[in-house]
């Protein structure tokens, strides 16, 4: 199915092409991704991990406290942090005191450092990973990181400006309604099907994957 169909539906729902443009997410260039510090990547990953299954507004409001409590999210420190430091965070009222999520920070810091050692920085690693294989990147993040399965990794990539789709409920519903997705949402088969569809639409329109994903979500009737 041509993407024009979904674009026109989105325009009809939002009222104008200008309204569509105002809702499109920011997409960073390879140079911009590479310029982001590794500490900011660890911070973004941690924010997405803590938001999962929680009220996002609460995490956002408490985020300055997270930055203080985690001392700026320097990966070199957190990759080798002593256990007692993690224990103290479980009592720190500046953050959401979920020990299972706190414990993801050292693992994800180690993942960032491993990628940075090979590519120069985690941003350089992300910048070289093609958007037409976002599925491969999501699998890599799940395998090498902690609590980066499901939508958390997709939201992390969107947060830092990587050009990728997010399989939100609206996106999944739109794909299913037009028989473009028949696998169980969250499965690797579903990711593969979605990747193929978005690759086709990207080749057809030249639009960034993030924009295709957002427009598709806006095409669904409320």
Other beta carbons within 10 angstroms of residue 218's beta carbon come to 21
**Domains, in order of start, for the chain:** 3-27+165-218 (no CATH), 31-160 (1.10.340.30)
> Tens digits of per-residue pLDDT, 57-106?
999 999 999 999 999 999 999 999 999 999 999 999 999 999 999 999 99
pTM, full prediction:
0.96
Other beta carbons within 10 angstroms of residue 43's beta carbon come to 21
- Contact status, residue 97 vs residue 89, Cβ threshold 8 Å: yes
Using CA atoms, how far apart are residues 138 and 154, in angstroms rounded to an integer? 7
Using CA atoms, how far apart are residues 65 and 12, in angstroms rounded to an integer? 42
Residue 159 tokens read as 């947060």
- Contact status, residue 218 vs residue 10, Cβ threshold 8 Å: yes
Other beta carbons within 10 angstroms of residue 206's beta carbon come to 7
Using CA atoms, how far apart are residues 94 and 67, in angstroms rounded to an integer? 9
> Tens digits of per-residue pLDDT, 133-183?
999 999 999 999 999 998 999 999 999 999 999 999 999 999 999 999 999
Residue 221 has pLDDT above 80, yes or no: no
Residue 207 tokens read as 């639009």
Residue 121 tokens read as 């920085």
Using CA atoms, how far apart are residues 198 and 212, in angstroms rounded to an integer? 7
- Contact status, residue 128 vs residue 38, Cβ threshold 8 Å: no
């Amino acid at each position: 199915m041509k993407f024009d169909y979904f674009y026109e539906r989105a325009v009809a729902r939002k009222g104008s092409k200008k309204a569509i443009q105002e809702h499109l997410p920011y997409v960073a260039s390879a140079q911009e991704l590479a310029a982001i510090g590794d500490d900011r990547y660890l911070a973004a990953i941690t924010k997405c991990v803590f938001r999962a299954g929680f009220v996002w507004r609460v995490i956002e409001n408490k985020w300055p406290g997270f930055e203080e409590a985690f001392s700026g999210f320097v990966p070199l420190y957190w990759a080798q942090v002593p256990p007692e430091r993690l224990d103290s965070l479980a009592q720190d009222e500046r953050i959401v005191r979920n020990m299972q999520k706190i414990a993801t920070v050292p693992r994800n810091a180690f993942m960032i450092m491993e990628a940075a050692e090979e590519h120069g920085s985690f941003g350089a690693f992300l910048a070289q990973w093609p958007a037409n294989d976002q599925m491969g990147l999501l699998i890599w993040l799940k395998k090498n990181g902690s609590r980066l399965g499901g939508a958390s990794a997709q939201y992390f990539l969107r947060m830092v400006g990587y050009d990728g789709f997010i399989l939100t409920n609206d996106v999944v519903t739109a794909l299913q309604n037009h028989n473009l997705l028949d696998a169980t949402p969250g499965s690797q088969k579903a990711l593969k099907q979605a990747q193929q569809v978005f690759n086709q639409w990207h080749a057809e329109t030249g639009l960034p994957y993030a924009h295709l994903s957002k427009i598709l979500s806006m095409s669904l009737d409320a």
